[in-house]
Structure 1
Amino acid sequence: MNIMSNTQRDLLKEKLDQLQCHFTWGPQKETIDLEDVMYRLQDAISLGVKYQATCHNQLAFVNCLQGMNKEAIQNLNEAEEILKDNHKDEFERSIIITYGNFAWVHYHMGQLTEAQSYLDKLEMICKPLSDGPHYTAMIPEVYGEKGWSLLRSASQYYEEAKECFKKALVEDPDNTEWIMGYATALSRLELFSGTPENRKQCQSVKHLRRVLELDPDDSMAMVLLALKLQQLKQKETATELVERALQKTPDFPYVLRYAAKFYRLEEDVEKAIGLLKKALEITPLSAFLHDQIAMCYRIKLDELINNPRSRNPRNPAFRQKAKLFNQCKYHFGKAFQHRPKTAIKSQLDFARVCVRNGENSKAKEIYSNLLKLDDIRPENLQRICLYAGTFEMYQRRRESNAISLFLKGLKVEYDSSERKKCHDKLEKWTEKNLCKDPHDSKALGMKGLLYQLNGNKAKAIEYFEKALEFDHENEEYLSALYELRLSIEEHNDT
């Protein structure tokens, strides 16, 4: 350990905080599944995917967060060697993040002199490139690597990743690495119902086409573009792209998994399962692959459940149904085994399979754990509330719990299809109760709240007043009524 005074150490930390590297970007232990990120990075490195240095850099960060500092230093040494080999002419521009990570790892190891030496190297490199602090430079190489790091971390960082790639492309518009990153971020955001990208579907298409113009052999761009064209009903072109990608890289798990998704959506479930099993042999810990194969088995299960023969214990269809339930649970379980914070969809799917199999206690445990999660995408929180509320309403017959959950989802101010479904559930419950009893104060209050959230203040006041006729001292209704009247008065005064 190097000896430094507290003042020197504080000054060093102040400089480290100015760096652009994995240690100063958003994702930390609390918001990402470190074990899963580590497995995915190790798979990417062993498969020799493009952009190896970025994988080694992020793996160094993950190892350091887990206290494996020697492994982190080894990762960074490997990143430096790759950059020396692949970026001889622009080594200094490409090494900025690696040197920043080196400085932070040495700081965590108590090797403060070594940390300072990397800061000195960064100052020499960045001074000609930056008008700001001389320990970093906001150049395309920095924005691009930050974008990939955020994309690999968790879905709540996709918007920021997209902006990073967008900034990288301003100065370097024909860089296939940044175009591919931008297209990947867009395509993922297009899947979330509450995003602007979802409302302008398939912006990613033109960027994936641009990747293929610049690099016609990029099989990943082919399968991602195929999935988008499938959505646009351009089936013939999409199928050609998938077949071409599989010919070019028949053993590349990343291509196999997206090709399998394509065939699943084309209802060729057996072909999809075959591709996924092949990919699982190469990367057995892939959460994505396990989730996809579980979805295939669920399709087969749905078909079998609708078959009357599957209800007869003496019929082979009954045993096949039990086998498919187990396969679904096994693979959905594997999909979130190392991703309890981020594999929300897999956990919800697992819970729904349990409900269909009569395992309500297991489903309840899953929903309870999901409801404890913090810092997740708003539409994911709304989806959790929707599914957990439906479970409480129809399986557990806990109406008040269900209403609280639907309301929690509705109050998340994010315009998604999940939020609309929470609203519809509450509206349906309100109408049903008011048909039974027009004086039901809870239903009248809920009706007032729904009008309030929809911005109809006059109707909200009307229903809160009706609710108070039958529940005179309800503080929630009185408070809502006071706020509504006050806001109307302020508006009129203005």
Structure 2
Amino acid sequence: MLLFSCSDTEKDLLKVSLNQLQCHFTWTPQKETIDLDDMKQRLEDSIEAGVKYQARSYNHLAFINCLQGNCEEAIQNLKEAERILRKGHEDEFEKRILVTYGNYAWVYYHMDRLEEAQSYLNKLETVCKLFPEASRFTAMIPEVYGEKGWSLLSTAAQYYEEAKECFTKALEEDPDNIEWNVGYATVLSRLEGFSGTQLSNKSTESMKQFRRVLELDPDHAEAMVQLALKLQEFNQKEEASILVERALQKSPDLPYVLRYAAKFLRREGDVKKSLELLNRGLEITPNSAFLCHQIGLCYKTKLHQLNKYPGRGDPHRQQKAELITKCKYYFEKAFEHRPLTFINARLDFAVICSLNNEYHEAEVTFSNLLKLENIHPGNKQAICLQAGLFELRSKRSESNAIIHFLEGLKIKYNSKEQERCRSQLEKIVERQLLRNPRDSEALGLQELLFQLNEKR
């Protein structure tokens, strides 16, 4: 086994070996596509909340700390991950430690401590000899695929498809593993959220998968509330309500359970109870962007109810102003540390600004969102849709709205946002042709829509 001194050539040679590893430094997107402060906060929150698989969180946290230049802290994170794995997974330690050893090697490389980096490559080489299909430094086993899947799932929406592939490969060899089954169900659910569910069906793939988790672990509270949300979409509310009640009884202080249960209750119209759960969750994880966004959505629901039954006089105006202020505060707080990845919170903020006639603020937000690159196509379509609706309803500009709706429609991804872009364009064409049946621009747009439908 070779040891290196610190010459540039030897460092370059060492990096060739490091690039062969399977760990966060080779398969998680770098700092340009991660909201680092928010990711760090979420990982620390999950550790503080006592999630079951804490070694996974410490591994990911070490990567984030290293990207931020906190390498000594990263080493401490990895030592904690290793301690947890030795204590909790003694019978499968060699399978579980591969990612951690890879992260060690990379952190020491970034610290220019090349002998330590090489020592962890040597450890990996020794461990990999235990697995028949392994290469020199890497064994593609379920534990590696599973940890990669969770890392990608927690990063950003554009990596969900790859996360799904990882969980699929992990489950091929270990079909009864609860950790991988939960990950697979979660990523299926999120992808369905982009594409929209087929309301003619009574089930989705994620629902089947959450039921599979509950077969393996009947007390898995997070699977209960996530399944309840899917059942709610198909109006199977009796079973959904029972699942939410059971989950809150079993895990009344688990932030993940509180947030999904609150989301369910808001959708059912119980905004008061939803806010109670969200505020309880915020006491446990006070910097949670998800919880702030959900609180904002509760106040947005109240605002819509107020607008639906408008009153008169100062009390009504004051109540409306208070709700708008609360919406803006919580939406802005939600994306404060997640400007790259929390697209929905930024869109909700822009919509509230437009409802309050703050057109400049809304326009700036939409302009910044439209400039984002390398984001999930479903998110891009959502931005185009809302930007188009803003131009149509607030700015009264059909021509600008058409530009945004067309951009959303042309993105090759089937989603409910794409369908709404198509529907808006069809309505515009219909209105324009009613005004002037010979309108050449309207007829041209009609022909373009026909061609896009044919291609589809």
TM-score range, shorter chain: over 0.9
Does 1:414 find its partner at 2:413? yes
Which one is further off, 436-445 or 19-28?
A: 436-445
SS in structure 2 of the partner of residue 143 of structure 1? helix
Q: Percent identity over the alignment?
A: 61
- 8 Å CA contact retained: 1:190, 1:201: no
Which one is further off, 421-430 or 131-140?
A: 421-430
Give the residue type in structure 2 aligned to 1:56. Answer: Y
- 8 Å CA contact retained: 2:370, 2:384: yes
- 8 Å CA contact retained: 1:21, 1:98: yes
Match of 1:189 among 166, 188, 191: 191
SS in structure 2 of the partner of residue 365 of structure 1? helix
Unaligned ranges ≥5, structure 2: none
Does 1:75 find its partner at 2:77? yes
Instruction: Give the corresponding residue for 2:247.
Output: 245
1:328-343 matches, within 5 Å, as 328-343=327-342
Instruction: Give the corresponding residue for 1:229.
Output: 231
1:160/1:200 Cα in 2 relative to 1: closer, same or farther (>3 Å)? farther
Instruction: Give the corresponding residue for 2:382.
Output: 383
- 8 Å CA contact retained: 1:126, 1:136: yes
Instruction: Give the corresponding residue for 2:320.
Output: 321
1:256/1:195 Cα in 2 relative to 1: closer, same or farther (>3 Å)? closer
1:194/1:242 Cα in 2 relative to 1: closer, same or farther (>3 Å)? closer
- CA shift, 1:413, in A, is 1.6
* Counterpart-to-counterpart distance in 1, 2:198 and 2:373: 23
- 8 Å CA contact retained: 2:199, 2:234: no
Q: CA offsets, 1:78-108, max 9 Å, x none? A: 1011001011121111100000001111111
Normalised by the length of structure 1, the TM-score is 0.87
Unaligned ranges ≥5, structure 1: 458-494
Instruction: Give the corresponding residue for 2:206.
Output: 204
1:390-469 matches, within 5 Å, as 390-455=389-454
SS in structure 2 of the partner of residue 23 of structure 1? helix
* Counterpart-to-counterpart distance in 1, 2:260 and 2:157: 18
Normalised by the length of structure 2, the TM-score is 0.94
Give the residue type in structure 2 aligned to 1:251. Answer: D
Instruction: Give the corresponding residue for 1:490.
Output: none
Give the residue type in structure 1 aligned to 2:232. Answer: Q
Give the residue type in structure 2 aligned to 1:265. Answer: R
Instruction: Give the corresponding residue for 2:154.
Output: 152
* Counterpart-to-counterpart distance in 1, 2:197 and 2:160: 11
1:9/1:425 Cα in 2 relative to 1: closer, same or farther (>3 Å)? same
* Counterpart-to-counterpart distance in 1, 2:455 and 2:209: 42
SS in structure 2 of the partner of residue 73 of structure 1? helix
* Counterpart-to-counterpart distance in 1, 2:196 and 2:412: 10
Match of 1:84 among 64, 86, 95: 86
Q: CA offsets, 1:338-391, max 9 Å, x none? A: 111111111111111111111111111110110011111112111111111221
Give the residue type in structure 2 aligned to 1:116. Answer: Q
* Counterpart-to-counterpart distance in 2, 1:52 and 1:201: 32
- 8 Å CA contact retained: 1:190, 1:197: no
SS in structure 1 of the partner of residue 194 of structure 2? coil
- 8 Å CA contact retained: 1:194, 1:414: no
Cα RMSD after superposing both structures: 2.2
* Counterpart-to-counterpart distance in 1, 2:400 and 2:33: 27
Q: Which structure has more RCO (C-alpha within 8 Å, separation ≥ 6)?
A: 2
* Counterpart-to-counterpart distance in 2, 1:244 and 1:443: 55
- 8 Å CA contact retained: 1:189, 1:195: no
1:11/1:195 Cα in 2 relative to 1: closer, same or farther (>3 Å)? farther
* Counterpart-to-counterpart distance in 1, 2:202 and 2:34: 28
SS in structure 2 of the partner of residue 308 of structure 1? coil
Match of 1:262 among 237, 261, 264: 264
* Counterpart-to-counterpart distance in 2, 1:338 and 1:68: 19
- CA shift, 1:229, in A, is 2.6
Give the residue type in structure 2 aligned to 1:336. Answer: F
1:224/1:130 Cα in 2 relative to 1: closer, same or farther (>3 Å)? same
Does 1:176 find its partner at 2:175? no
Give the residue type in structure 1 aligned to 2:223. Answer: A
* Counterpart-to-counterpart distance in 1, 2:82 and 2:241: 40
Match of 1:166 among 150, 165, 168: 168
Q: How many residues align?
A: 453
Which one is further off, 390-399 or 447-456?
A: 447-456
Match of 2:288 among 286, 289, 299: 286
Instruction: Give the corresponding residue for 1:15.
Output: 17
- CA shift, 1:132, in A, is 4.9
- 8 Å CA contact retained: 2:6, 2:112: no
Instruction: Give the corresponding residue for 2:95.
Output: 93
- 8 Å CA contact retained: 2:398, 2:428: no
Bigger radius of gyration? 1
- CA shift, 1:26, in A, is 4.0
Give the residue type in structure 2 aligned to 1:34. Answer: L
SS in structure 2 of the partner of residue 142 of structure 1? helix
